[in-house]
Amino acid sequence: MKRTIAFLLAALLCLELAACAGRNQEPEDRSQATKEAFNNGGRYVKYGDDVYYWEDWYDCFEPSGIWGQFADVPGIRRSMMRHNADGTREGLFKENGYGAIWIFNDRFYLTWLDGNYRQQIFSTTMERGGGIGDAADRRELGPGEIFALDEERGLLIAMEGWQGVLLTIDAKTGERVTLAETLADPLLYDAASATLYYRDFSIGERNIVRLCAVNVTTGKARDVARIDILEFASFEDADAVEFDNVWLEDDGLHVFLSGYGGTGRHFTGCAHLIVSLTGDGAKQYDAGDAPDYSRYALNKPFDMRDIQGYDEYYGWYIRNEKDELAQVLTLEDVAPLGLPGGPYYDEREFGDIGHVEYADGAAYFSIVCGPRNPEEDIGWREAYDLRSMHVYRKDLATEEVEELHFFEENTMRGAPTVAAQLEELHPAATMNFMRFDDGSEEFIYGNRENGYGFEENHTPGCSVWCAVDDVRQSWSATATLQDDTVHSYEVENLGDGNRETVWCAGAGSGVGEAVEHAVTIDLLDKGNLLQYDGFCVVNGYAKTEALWNHNARVKTLLLSVNGKPYGRVFLDDTILAQHFVLEGIEAKSGETIRFRFEIEEIYPGGKYDDTCLTGIEFAFVTPNH
């Protein structure tokens, strides 16, 4: 018996050792991404067949900025949007991230700002969020900003602090390894050699540019070159240079530099240099003073302008996924969008192009505008206020430009559905909540009651409903916030007449989402017509004052009837029931009428970004009532 047990134990031990050996021979390949990401680290990233981006709104930015550059506000939640291959858009979740989007192994790697404006890195899955829209499986990865992603090694190349520590972060475990603790600015990561090239600012000589490199696997660092910018004619009057672009070719490290000088840091010139990786220093590219744009790096957007005056725009270019120089945006594209002569800054206002990026055969860009604000100037630097931002997508095959969304000050809108002028519908009356008291047989109004709407719809006695034989109705929505364990946000809540239930739009601002109410009324007298003469809306999440304030409300709705635009509904920002008048909407007995409400503008919530409606109720009359 003992021999048998010993034999079995030995056999099991051999099997285990064999399994371990097998695991050592074939390590887990955690670096293999399930899909290919294009423009990874940009604001618009193609992953698989879809494009992902943050949807901004007014409160995401500081209201004023120097030269129209508006800082992000810490803690503001944005919607992560997905532009599907079929042209539809949907929100995935809301989080306090901003800026660059990195995708690896079906996870987002993102950045957020803490209360001290320090950048923090986190990751989430790519699933739709639940509850109030939070992302699924959020993991904090510590302070820093992602500069590059090494998919083969599963490493995030990051920088902590402005011109600070360079480090790697294991995308799976979160392990952090410091590469350089000097005043460093990362310039380029070459995944093939696992080498990070960076500029070292610690030498203290303004005219000297020190380029260094470090291997992210061994941690070994080395000097690449020390460039005296005064040796180049373009920088004779410069006291500082900035790196516009850096890329690697067989003959060395290519850099585009722009020089700035004087108290106003005026542009003094630019140059295309080739830095030898064998210690032979740097030389100016033989194209002369004007950079050779055809050698510009892959998918690095740039605007081609008059090199001398920097005031004439020829267009916006990139190198696409086929390594071809491609013009993605022209003045003819932006002229009808409010920039007939290109970007401008003057004593009254500014208009500029922002974040031109290329993904899925399309160019994504924004147009930002605002008035001059001298009170916010810093010395000679001129300040402007943020008034509006429009985000567009240009299909490069058809050259069609569509507006994805835009915001103006404290509102946010989706792409306009109807350009024509529509009838404006404003509240004809505002009513408190109500209930019918069986004892007094009267309606009681007050802020503690739960009902709302038209009295004839809630009267137990004979009313307009005495003429009705049967009613069939349904509610539908383009997107609905996922229910949680406590709350239900289903669209049918709009029609139950109860202020304690609510419909909330799907993850995203809610702008562009719509609800539809289809109603069919059979009359006892089949020959009669009925007329819809009004509707009532309870805006926001009206269960309590606190919930109403926490969540976003609707500011304007586009009302369509049976597929045709009817009018634009302007809602007051009040928790009370708002009554509107309808005219000219008749139906035969048994005829279906479809009322569609599309959200065009919102009032932002004080705590959450979810846009909510508590209820919509309709009123109708018949010839006999």
pLDDT at site 501:
94
550, 575: one domain = yes
Q: Is 404 among the domain residues? A: yes
Q: Is 112 among the domain residues? A: no
Going by DSSP bridges, is the β-strand pair 423-425/564-570 parallel, antiparallel, or unpaired? parallel
Beta-carbon count within 10 A of 613 CB: 27
403, 427: one domain = no
pLDDT at site 392:
93
Half-sphere exposure of 101 (CA within 13 A, CB side): 30
Q: List the one residue out of 271, 268, 214, 266 whose CA is nearest residue 243.
A: 271
Residue ending a domain, among 409, 444, 479, is 409
The predicted model gives 594-606 an average pLDDT of 91
Return d(Cα 625, Cα 622) in angstroms, integer. 5
pLDDT above 80: residue 356: yes
Element (H, E) at 195: strand 195-200
340, 447: one domain = no
pLDDT at site 455:
81
Whole-number percent of the chain with pLDDT over 90: 36
Q: What is the mean pLDDT of the chain?
A: 81
**Identity of the highest mean pLDDT range in 98-102, 129-133, 227-231, 580-584:** 98-102
Cβ atoms of 301 and 356 within 8 Å: the answer is yes
Would you call 598 helix, strand, or coil by DSSP?
A: strand
Report residue 294: phi and psi, to 5°: -65, -20
Domain region containing 377: 298-409
Model pLDDT for residues 152-179, shown as the tens digit of each residue: 999 999 999 766 789 999 999 999 999 9
Alpha-carbon 510 to chain mean position: 13
Residue 421's pLDDT band (boundaries 50, 70, 90)? low
Q: What is the CATH number of the domain that holds 444?
A: 2.60.120.260
The predicted model gives 547-554 an average pLDDT of 93
pLDDT at site 247:
83
pLDDT at site 292:
52
pLDDT above 70: residue 594: yes
Q: Is 189 among the domain residues? A: no
Q: List the one residue out of 494, 529, 496 whose CA is nearest residue 614.
A: 494
pLDDT at site 434:
85
Return d(Cα 210, Cα 205) in angstroms, integer. 9
Beta-carbon count within 10 A of 281 CB: 15
Per the model's pLDDT, the better-predicted residue between 101 and 509 turns out to be: 101
Q: Is 343 among the domain residues? A: yes
Q: Is 99 among the domain residues? A: no
Q: Which two tokens stand for residue 292?
A: 């050779």
The edge-to-edge listing of strands for the beta sheet with 429-431 is 429-431, 577-588, 529-539, 612-621, 503-504
The predicted model gives 10-36 an average pLDDT of 41
369, 431: one domain = no
Whole-number percent of the chain with pLDDT over 70: 83
304, 448: one domain = no
Residue ending a domain, among 409, 434, 463, is 409
399, 329: one domain = yes
The predicted model gives 322-340 an average pLDDT of 82
Half-sphere exposure of 402 (CA within 13 A, CB side): 12
Model pLDDT for residues 202-234, shown as the tens digit of each residue: 766 777 888 899 999 999 999 888 888 888 777
Q: Is 174 among the domain residues? A: no
Return d(Cα 236, Cα 271) in angstroms, integer. 12
Q: Which two tokens stand for residue 235?
A: 């920088």
Amino acid identity, position 551 = N
614, 543: one domain = yes
Tally the domains of the chain: 2
Q: Is 28 among the domain residues? A: no
Model pLDDT for residues 253-312, shown as the tens digit of each residue: 888 887 877 655 667 777 788 888 876 667 776 444 444 555 555 455 555 544 434 445
Amino acid identity, position 607 = K
Whether the CA torsion 198, 201, 202, 208 is positive or negative: it is positive
Model pLDDT for residues 45-93, shown as the tens digit of each residue: 999 999 999 988 888 899 999 988 999 999 888 888 898 888 877 778 8
CB under 8 Å, gap of 24 or more: what pairs does 571-575 form?
A: 571/427, 571/537, 571/539, 572/427, 572/430, 572/539, 573/539, 573/603, 574/430, 574/539, 575/538, 575/539, 575/540, 575/542, 575/545, 575/548
pLDDT above 80: residue 549: yes
pLDDT at site 257:
80
- Let me know the angle formed at the C-alpha of 421 by 418 and 425, rounded to the nearest 5 degrees: 95
Q: List the one residue out of 14, 7, 83 whose CA is nearest residue 43.
A: 83
Which residues are CB-neighbours of 533 under 8 A, at least 6 positions away?
A: 581, 582, 583, 585, 619, 620, 621
Q: 95-99, 316-320, 575-579: which has the minimum mean pLDDT?
A: 316-320
pLDDT above 50: residue 389: yes
309, 343: one domain = yes
The predicted model gives 192-196 an average pLDDT of 94
Q: 366-370, 414-418, 455-459: which has the minimum mean pLDDT?
A: 414-418
313, 441: one domain = no
Q: Is 374 among the domain residues? A: yes
Residue 20's pLDDT band (boundaries 50, 70, 90)? very low
Cβ atoms of 95 and 135 within 8 Å: the answer is yes
449, 573: one domain = yes
Helices (H) and strands (E) in the chain, counts: 3, 45
370, 470: one domain = no
Cβ atoms of 370 and 384 within 8 Å: the answer is yes
499, 446: one domain = yes
Per the model's pLDDT, the better-predicted residue between 458 and 304 turns out to be: 458
Q: Report pTM.
A: 0.65
pLDDT above 90: residue 33: no
Residue ending a domain, among 360, 378, 409, is 409
pLDDT at site 100:
95
Q: Which two tokens stand for residue 87?
A: 């042209």
